[in-house]
Structure 1
Amino acid sequence: MMNFSQSADIDDVYVYDYNQSEWNTTWESPCSHQSNQSVEQVVGPYVRSLICVLGLVGNGLVIVTYAFYKRTKSMTDVFLLNVAAADLLFVAALPLIAYNEAWAWPMGAAACKLLRGSYSVNLYSGMLLLACVSADRYVAIVQARRSFRLRSLARSRLVCAAVWASALLLSTPTFYSYNRYRRSDTETVVMLDDAKPENQTDDYVCEFLFQDPRLARTTKVAVPALQLTVGFFLPLLVMVFCYSAIALTLLKARNFQRHRAVRVVVVVVAVFVGCHLPYNLTLFYETLTMFQLKACATSDTLQVAKTLTQALAHLHCCLNPLLYAFVGAKFRSHFRRIVWDLCHLGRKSWGSRRSSRVTSRVTSEAFLSSRRSVDSTSSQGSSFTM
């Protein structure tokens, strides 16, 4: 039975004439997508590497701050910690995915499913958690009288557990459908001559793989449809509603800091829309025209647009720490404490050649002193102060 794969382009057409007694062996060569290959040569190794480094550093600092310098004392803290964890795991998977798309998949089928499935889980969880952050701020500002009862640590942990469970459930088709196979396996057909596509390769890839054509069509539409609805439009609607209500509430207050907070709200929504809307519109168009034959130029242009807009969407993972964590005065003070401690320990270790035991003791003393300083100045509340 012929395999059906997402990597097989719609322009790879095997033409058969079923009205004749013999098969017509006309071979339509696949589109080369030269423009997209040129773009991928820049986006793949350079842009994605930059996104990976910035995402690891920014989200790693958020996690380190919460782990060693600031305890999670509010619902917002719990949400921001989970957002940073999801973004950190998301960007960590980018180098392997880029390598697979550019060359081949060097590991086994289990690793293929784990990589693509975890990528999907972190995508859904990160977007849904951003919606939870906006809902939490809505309750804290617009529904201030009810915020004390609704915004508890136990409730926030329960919401986060529900988000991760939902992301895992939504990613089930991805875990099931992705597999490791040879590119040539999806191009095996009965031919009356020895014609073969020039670019056929035996390299292993990690892509969608199906044995049933009906299941292939359903899954290849359902996966992007879920990503569009649950992974973008639902969080977007929640954010627009919540932040609009927050902005209207803050504009009624005669306070300079409140008006500054309105600008922060506008920036948060604008960055979210600017990063994710182009890619999701491209994905929506690609899903609508997935099973339609396209000219090579049209297909190449679509792939270029998808490559560029996807890189822009991935960039949002690097901006989340700046938009949600470091915008708060308290969080910035904790970050400055981290930098000061690292510099202080660096000078001490560079200036003197001590044993590893002494170095460990100095590190522990600096950590304890920073925790005492932070705990004495911190107060109950959100890490995002508007």
Structure 2
Amino acid sequence: MNNSYYSYYDYDYHNSTDDYAPCDLSSNNSLNTVVGPYIHSIICILGFVGNSLVILTYALYKRTKSMTDVFLLNVAIADLLFVLALPFIVYNELYSWPMGLVACKLLRGSYSVNLYSGMLMLACISTDRYIAIVQARRSFRLRSLSYSRIICALIWVFAFLVSVPTFHYYNWYKPGYNDIIWVNDTVEMDTTTDSQYVCEWKFRDSKTAKTVKVAVPSIQLAIGFFLPLLIMIFCYTAVIITLLKAKNFQRHKAVRVVLVVVVVFIVCHLPYNLALMYDTIHMFKQSHCTETDTLYTAISVLQSLAYLHCCLNPVLYAFIGVKFRNHFSRMFQDLWCVGKRYITPRRFSRVTSDTYMSTIRRSVDGSSENGSSFTM
């Protein structure tokens, strides 16, 4: 690795108000030893189980018959890949990265792709609900499976493109730690520290470092949060107004579902993104170590809250639908029967097939545009 590169650690070093030593982020490091292994493990388990169940339900029992189905399936895929990458990222942040350069770039890059695609898919779901309920007369020709698949493909490609800087600038290297030591009452740099390989940002020069370190979080804020938030607020506000005009209990119940979806999204993501925006604005300004430590501690906590949203998506967008819950329950019943050997493999195959076909023959799908079923 070229020694002229500016590493992630080199830049943290220059942010210290101390002329010689980087900040000792003791509170943040102590918190990460708890949040990383335990809280993130819970998020990974819940996210893996919930999103896997959504994918299995679509694969075995419920075909994607509407735009919402396609978007929801893609949200589950993005969230599942997100939680699968999370343990490796936590391990790298706490310890080191022993898996090499290619795995480093794939890990960080896929993490970014899944983040963008998942958030944009949620915006698409809100747009689809807006068209289905507010623009019901035009919904038939606007909401087709072919359109939804094209939109999803474009979102994945777009998410990859905006993640190119992450793929490019994350590298596998040994950070150049320079410890401060005192020799005869003078400060000298100790370069003998035996560091381990990490997977972090690395830049050729300070200008590139400043540009990328500001551009990447700025794009994440703009595209990965504020754009979906504005779309959701606009679409769901119009949906709520339309539903409130209908004198129907089920439609008023759908209003509560909409409010829960929006409130949970804001509560999970707004605090972290505000902290990230503050950190980005003040990134190259000198600050006291205690202030930096407090900021990074807050970011760690709020980031975990944002990660929690990937566990809540299956509940908010899938399991809340009656028909989806029916498919979900039927899947568990079949698995229980297989586990207890109540039926022969041949009969199980026939029952499963009949179950699947019966769901297709239902005349009313949970995504029918009557306003009484908001999600599925």
Partner residue of 1:264?
257
In the alignment, does 2:46 pair up with 1:54? yes
Counterpart in the other structure of 1:171: 163
Alignment of 1:376 onto 2:369? no
Using the size of structure 1 for normalisation, the TM-score is 0.89
Distance between the aligned counterparts of 1:162 and 1:181, measured in 2? 34
TM-fit CA distance, 1:294 = 1.5
Deviating above 6 A after TM superposition, structure 1's stretches of 4 or more consecutive aligned residues are none
Stretch moving more, 234-243 or 373-382: 373-382
Rounded Cα–Cα distance in structure 2 between residues aligned with 1:59 and 1:217: 37
Aligned match for 2:109, one of 109, 113, 117: 117
Q: CA deviation at 1:208?
A: 0.6
C-alpha separation in 2, matches of 1:212 and 1:363: 63
Equivalence for 2:248: 255
Following superposition, the deviation at residue 375 of structure 1 comes to 2.6
**1:385 alignment partner in structure 2:** 373
1:195 corresponds to 2:183:
no
State the Cα deviation string for residues 72-128 of structure 1 (Å, max 9, x = none). 001110000000000000111000000000000011101100000000000000000
Partner of 1:346: 339
1:40-76 per-residue CA deviation (whole Å, 9 max, x = no partner) reads: 1111001111100101100000000101100000111
The corresponding residue for 1:210 is 203
Question: Does structure 1 residue 65 correspond to structure 2 residue 69?
Answer: no
Provide the rounded CA distance (Å) in 2 between the counterparts of 1:380 and 1:270. Answer: 27
* Structure 2 CA distance for partners of 1:11 and 1:188, relative to 1, 3 Å: closer
Question: 2:129: which partner in 1?
Answer: 137
String of CA shifts for 1:247-271, please: whole Å, max 9, x gaps: 0000000001111110110000000
1:183 partnered with 2:147: no
The share of aligned pairs that are identical, in percent, is: 57
2:16·2:287 contact (CA, 8 Å) conserved in 1?
A: no
SS across alignment from 1:180: strand
Matching residue's letter, 1:138: Y
Q: How many residues align?
A: 365
Change (3 A) 1:9 1:301: farther
Counterparts of residues 275-286 of structure 1 (less than 5 Å) = 275-286=268-279
Counterpart Cα distance in 2 of 1:362 and 1:311: 46
Residue 33 of structure 1 and its aligned partner are, at CA, apart by: 1.0
Q: Deviations over 1:337-381 (max 9, x none)?
A: 0111111111117xx9xxxxx65x455334223213323336346
Structure 2: 5+ residue stretches without partners: 181-185
Q: The residue matched to 2:12 in structure 1 has which SS? A: coil
Measure, in 2, the Cα distance between the counterparts of 1:174 and 1:158. Answer: 25
Secondary structure of 2:121 counterpart: helix
Q: Which amino acid aligns with 1:244?
A: T
C-alpha distance in 1, partners of 2:146/2:269?
31
CA distance in 2, matches of 1:5, 1:172: 18
The answer (yes or no) to whether the contact 2:179–2:189 under 8 Å persists in 1 is no
Distance in 2 of aligned mates of 1:347 and 1:63:
24
Tell me by how many angstroms 1:8 deviates.
3.8
Unaligned 5+ segments in structure 1 are 16-25, 353-357
In 1, Cα distance between equivalents of 2:56 and 2:112: 24
The answer on whether the counterparts of 2:105 and 2:168 sit within 8 Å (CA) in structure 1 is yes
Residue 299 of structure 1 pairs with residue 299 of structure 2: no
Q: Distance in 1 between matches of 2:337 and 2:359?
A: 17
Change in 2 beyond 3 A, CA 1:249/1:214: same
